[in-house]
Amino acid sequence: MQPDKSAEARIDPRAARSAASLRHAILHLAERQPIADITVDQVVEAAGITRKTFYNHIGGPTELLTRTLMAELDQVRKRMDQGLVSGTEDLTALSRTRLGEIIDHILRRRPIYQQPDGRIHPQLYRMLSDHFYAAIRFSLEQSLREVPLTATASDTAIADIHASYIAHAYAGAIDTWLPHADTISPDILLDTIVGSLPRWMTTRK
């Protein structure tokens, strides 16, 4: 029996076109108004689709936006994960490169990420920290980094705590920097973050 084709290969071309139109529409709208103000009617009009088609793809505008941005972040992560596993590059340099690409992404999408008070929208902050968490856990699962352990907790629980700690530190530093991005360069931000990393984040196992 022939194996089933991948889900990606079976995607209806019309569904793929609708998905692309939705992504374009939500990015266009989110650059021009607060996320919470975007309505389904606005999205379907901008995308040129029906409400039924919209709900066949997604639950609401905010979910659509976070999925669209996460897909862009995942492209960065995919490239970096390949270098992490296959290469011998210094982890300090690799961490800086990865963070630099994420910061470039945020600056490109700055009108979307940044609220009127200058900080990152809370749901997008959570999305960023989730992205960082998944990337750090991947490096631990691949035994590329080894975190300090305690005698009273399982390896998995400790790895989760360490990954969460770094993920929120990354997201928090970027969130604090963004209101000052016009006067504090990304290089200074990167120097500050990378210089603050614990030793286990910059040392291969």
* CATH class of the 13-59 domain in this structure: mainly alpha
Encode pLDDT of 155-170 as tens digits. Answer: 888 889 999 999 999 9
Contact (CB, 8 A) for 98 and 135? yes
pTM here is 0.85
Residue 135 and residue 123: Cα distance in Å, rounded? 19
Extents of the domains making up the chain: 13-59, 62-201
The CA-atom distances, in angstroms, between 53 and each of 10, 43, 50, 151, 181 are 18, 11, 5, 53, 39
Encode pLDDT of 140-153 as tens digits. Answer: 887 677 788 776 76
